[in-house]
Amino acid sequence: MMIKENQSLLTFNTFGIDVNARHFSEVFSPGDLKEVFESHPSASHPHLVLGGGSNILFTSDFPGLVIKVSLKGIEVVEENEREVLVKAAAGEDWDQFVSYCVLHGWGGLENLSQIPGQVGSSPIQNIGAYGAELKDCFESLEAWGKSSGQIRQFSAEACRFGYRDSIFKREARGKYVILSVSFRLGKKSHKLKLGYGAIQAEFQNRGISQPTIADVREVICSLRRSKLPDPHVTGNAGSFFKNPVVEQSVFELLKAEYPGLVAFPDKGGMKLAAGWLIEKAGWKGFREGDAGVHPRQALVLVNYGNANGLEIAALSEKIKDSVRKMFGVELETEVNII
- Give the CA distances from residue 128 to residues 109, 113, 139, 256, 259, in Å, rounded to whole numbers and listed in that order: 10, 10, 16, 30, 27
Least distance CB 277 / ligand EPU (angstroms): 8
Select from 238, 244, 292, 309 the one that contacts ligand EPU (CB under 6 A): 238
Select from 299, 307, 315, 323 the one that contacts ligand EPU (CB under 6 A): 299
Query: What does 56 interact with, of ligand EPU, ligand FAD, none (CB < 5 to 8 A by kind)?
Result: ligand FAD
Least distance CB 30 / ligand FAD (angstroms): 11
Active site residue 164: yes
Q: Is the four-CA dihedral 55, 58, 63, 67 of positive or negative sign? A: positive
The C-alpha R_g of the chain, in whole angstroms, comes to 21
Residue 49 in the binding site for ligand FAD (CB under 6 A):
yes
Count other C-beta atoms under 10 Å from residue 78's C-beta.
Answer: 12
Least distance CB 338 / ligand FAD (angstroms): 8
User: How many residues of this chain interact with ligand FAD, rule: CB under 6 A?
Assistant: 33
Give whichever of 227 and 324 is closer to ligand EPU, judged by the CB atom. Answer: 227
d(CA 194, CA 211): 9
Give whichever of 254 and 292 is closer to ligand FAD, judged by the CB atom. Answer: 292
- Give the CA distances from residue 160 to residues 56, 195, 265, 326, in Å, rounded to whole numbers and listed in that order: 22, 25, 21, 33
For residue 328, is it left (φ>0), alpha (ψ between -120 and 50) or beta?
left
Active site residue 239: yes
Q: Are 129 and 112 within 8 A, CB to CB?
A: yes
Contacts of 326 (CB under 8 A, 6+ apart): 277, 280, 281
Select from 176, 242, 292, 323 the one that contacts ligand EPU (CB under 6 A): 242
Q: Are 47 and 65 within 8 A, CB to CB?
A: yes
Residue 56 in the binding site for ligand FAD (CB under 6 A):
yes
Contacts of 60 (CB under 8 A, 6+ apart): 19, 309, 310
Select from 25, 70, 111, 118 the one that contacts ligand FAD (CB under 6 A): 118
Report helix, strand or coil for 141: strand
Residue 292 in the binding site for ligand FAD (CB under 6 A):
no
Query: What does 49 interact with, of ligand EPU, ligand FAD, none (CB < 5 to 8 A by kind)?
Result: ligand FAD
Interaction with ligand EPU in 43-62: which residues (CB under 6 A)?
none
Contacts with ligand FAD, 162-201, as mask; x by CB under 6 A: --------------xxx-----------------------
Selecting among 26, 239, 311, 316, the annotated active-site residue is 239
Query: What does 299 interact with, of ligand FAD, ligand EPU, none (CB < 5 to 8 A by kind)?
Result: ligand EPU
Bridge partners (DSSP) listed for residue 4: 24
d(CA 5, CA 2): 10
Cα–chain-centroid distance for residue 93?
13
Interaction with ligand EPU in 128-187: which residues (CB under 6 A)?
129-130
Contacts with ligand FAD, 60-79, as mask; x by CB under 6 A: ---------x----------
12 burial via Cβ count (<10 Å: 0-12, 13-18, 19+): buried
Summarize as ranges the residues that interact with ligand EPU (CB under 6 A): 129-130, 227, 238-239, 242-243, 262, 273, 275-276, 279, 284, 297-299, 334
